[in-house]
Chains A and B, each alone.
Chain A
């Protein structure tokens, strides 16, 4: 029976890799996730026949837990709007990390209780004549590391540490993206405190290896939880996608480590593949923002403490929908630079309607997507795809930046930091060095924006004060509707 279970795991691992491979092209992506899904169902079903499972009550608990949690996740996953995807990914990722950590905890506590049982046996044996057993205790299983074996214990504890940090860190990322948490600092000198907490966590991880009691292990988990929170707290909103990706990779690694502890090859392979893939994805994202990962994690970007940059000169100049519509209608080329704000206003469908009207008038229209537009790389593409925009109209930053000086009108809708020229011109700005959409080079820029507020990073946008820039102060959806009305009459 065990051979069949192991074969199922093998097939599942193959399906996971094929599925991820399939997801690397839009054409095969949907098949990819289905393959991976079949692999998951197969592995889960096979596990019910795993030889280590015992006690009817445990089986019932497993079925109950899967039904309740799976049902809730299904329900919430179906309902969540596309704009909230990043925090959902953060939430589900945190759950995975927590699960890996909990597996580690079960195994560690099991080891502790086994040591306790051996010692109790040993004590009773000492009262009797069994002297040779005393010798066995001296060399034998006196602590977690010696009972589980050095490799299993070390990887199991490391996996528990990483998983716990990914768990609490992801929950903080979720709370921040969901607008439930706005604080960037809990304590004074947060970075210094973090270093201390990290050192303490590692110390207790090592102590957990040498312990025979559960108190040290509990302290270890509490410290790791606190460290995860502290690590994610100072990270500014604009950097969150990178951090979620990092936690995703960390969870994968934790799953791989716990897989080794349990001797489960499916977990080892799937976890390691995700760990490697997630690390690469994190690197790609950090590169897209031109920020080394260390900066993202330790600089506290987007916090109040960061330099605000120089104040822009000039003032914002407003424009009405009628004038904006006429400008676009008689342009040769219009480029739309959408940001997360467009999606929040649910304006993407209206924007697409507007674009279709412009296309009827033979205006060439393109969408310019910054690598981190939205809240994750590619998030904006998903949102535009949802509205029905074909992906041959969508251009990456590298492709479109050379075209802006040939563009008559750029419409910036709901984007802010990714079009801020301060990233190019102002070394004192906290976003200096981040690659941007070079919209300021276009002949005219129209910024559709609800108010005069700052972007997600909290930095003033110099673009809004430029001579060729006009501000259309309105909700994205309403502004697009008004422009459509005017266009229809022209």
Chain B
């Protein structure tokens, strides 16, 4: 469905999108952002699922299984650590509110 030149267009537009989205990020968010973009390429999980899902024979199944294992670790781990980091970026008010509850 996405072939040849169409894919080239998509690659080009996606590349500019990535560049633009990042270019306005303040330094204090660089680490969470690196972690966040690390999470986003966890989408490799859907590819790994397809690779294992359409596998025939033990070799393909084994490699596909490894792919899903690795990809799931990327996606889930990436989400958890990013979320934990961003959890700390609270305004003073939010922080005080939390302090009162404790």
Docked-complex contact A33 and B82, CB < 8 angstroms = yes
CB contact list, B6-38 vs A, under 8 A: 7, 10-11, 14-19, 21-38
Docked-complex contact B53 and A381, CB < 8 angstroms = no
Specify the chain B residue showing the minimal Cβ separation from A379: B31
Docked-complex contact A281 and B81, CB < 8 angstroms = no
Specify the chain A residue showing the minimal Cβ separation from B12: A272
Most chain A Cβ neighbours within 10 Å, of B40, B87, B91: B40
- Interface pick from A126-134, A244-252, A421-429: A244-252
Report the bound CA distance from A77 to B76 in whole Å: 8
Docked-complex contact B73 and A255, CB < 8 angstroms = no
Docked-complex contact B70 and A99, CB < 8 angstroms = yes
- Residues in B whose Cβ lies below 8 Å from that of A120: none
Docked-complex contact B36 and A19, CB < 8 angstroms = yes
Docked-complex contact B84 and A274, CB < 8 angstroms = no
Most chain A Cβ neighbours within 10 Å, of B24, B32, B54: B32
- Residues in B whose Cβ lies below 8 Å from that of A40: 39, 42-43, 45, 75, 79
Take A47-B50, A50-B49, A62-B53 as given contacts and tell me if A96 and B79 are in contact as well, using a CB distance cutoff of 8 Å: no
Query: A32 within 8 Å of B by Cβ?
Result: yes
CB contact list, A1-56 vs B, under 8 A: 6, 9, 12, 16-17, 19-21, 23-27, 29-30, 32-34, 36-37, 40, 43-44, 46-48, 50, 52-55
- Residues in B whose Cβ lies below 8 Å from that of A151: 3-4, 7
Query: A267 within 8 Å of B by Cβ?
Result: yes
Docked-complex contact B32 and A95, CB < 8 angstroms = no
Docked-complex contact B76 and A70, CB < 8 angstroms = yes
- Residues in A whose Cβ lies below 8 Å from that of B54: 52-54, 58
Report the bound CA distance from A113 to B56 in whole Å: 10
- Residues in A whose Cβ lies below 8 Å from that of B59: 109
CB contact list, A178-227 vs B, under 8 A: none
Docked-complex contact B11 and A272, CB < 8 angstroms = yes
Report the bound CA distance from A280 to B66 in whole Å: 30
Shortest beta-carbon distance from A264 to chain B in Å? 6
- Residues in A whose Cβ lies below 8 Å from that of B39: 33, 36-37, 40, 92
Most chain A Cβ neighbours within 10 Å, of B43, B71, B87: B43
Query: A464 within 8 Å of B by Cβ?
Result: no
| Number of CB contacts from chain A to chain B under 8 A | 377
Contact partner of B52 (CB less than 8 A), chosen from A62, A88, A98, is A62
Shortest beta-carbon distance from B63 to chain A in Å? 5
Interface size on A, residues (CB 8 A): 120
Docked-complex contact B34 and A92, CB < 8 angstroms = no
Docked-complex contact A19 and B38, CB < 8 angstroms = no
Query: A386 within 8 Å of B by Cβ?
Result: yes
Shortest beta-carbon distance from B90 to chain A in Å? 8
CB 8 Å contact bits of B51-78 with A (1 = contact, 0 = none): 1111111011101111111111111111
Docked-complex contact A24 and B80, CB < 8 angstroms = no
Docked-complex contact A280 and B64, CB < 8 angstroms = no
Docked-complex contact B36 and A248, CB < 8 angstroms = no
Take A12-B43, A24-B29, A251-B41 as given contacts and tell me if A73 and B73 are in contact as well, using a CB distance cutoff of 8 Å: yes
- Interface pick from A295-303, A387-395, A442-450, A479-487: A387-395
Report the bound CA distance from A102 to B4 in whole Å: 23
Docked-complex contact A44 and B32, CB < 8 angstroms = no
CB contact list, A48-94 vs B, under 8 A: 48, 50, 52-55, 57-59, 61-62, 65-66, 68-74, 76-78, 80, 82, 85-86, 88-89, 91-93
Shortest beta-carbon distance from B18 to chain A in Å? 3
Query: A435 within 8 Å of B by Cβ?
Result: no
Where the two chains meet, the residues of B that have a C-beta atom closer than 8 Å to any C-beta of A are: 1-4, 7, 10-11, 14-19, 21-57, 59-61, 63-89, 91-92, 95
Where the two chains meet, the residues of A that have a C-beta atom closer than 8 Å to any C-beta of B are: 6, 9, 12, 16-17, 19-21, 23-27, 29-30, 32-34, 36-37, 40, 43-44, 46-48, 50, 52-55, 57-59, 61-62, 65-66, 68-74, 76-78, 80, 82, 85-86, 88-89, 91-93, 95-96, 98-100, 102-103, 105-107, 109-110, 113, 151, 167, 244-245, 248, 251-252, 255-256, 258-260, 262-281, 284-285, 369, 371, 374, 376-379, 381-382, 385-386, 388, 390-391, 394, 396
**Can you name 19 A-B pairs with beta carbons within 8 Å?**
A20-B33, A21-B21, A26-B26, A30-B83, A36-B40, A44-B46, A53-B54, A55-B53, A70-B76, A86-B31, A89-B35, A95-B73, A96-B71, A98-B70, A106-B52, A251-B38, A274-B38, A279-B19, A371-B27
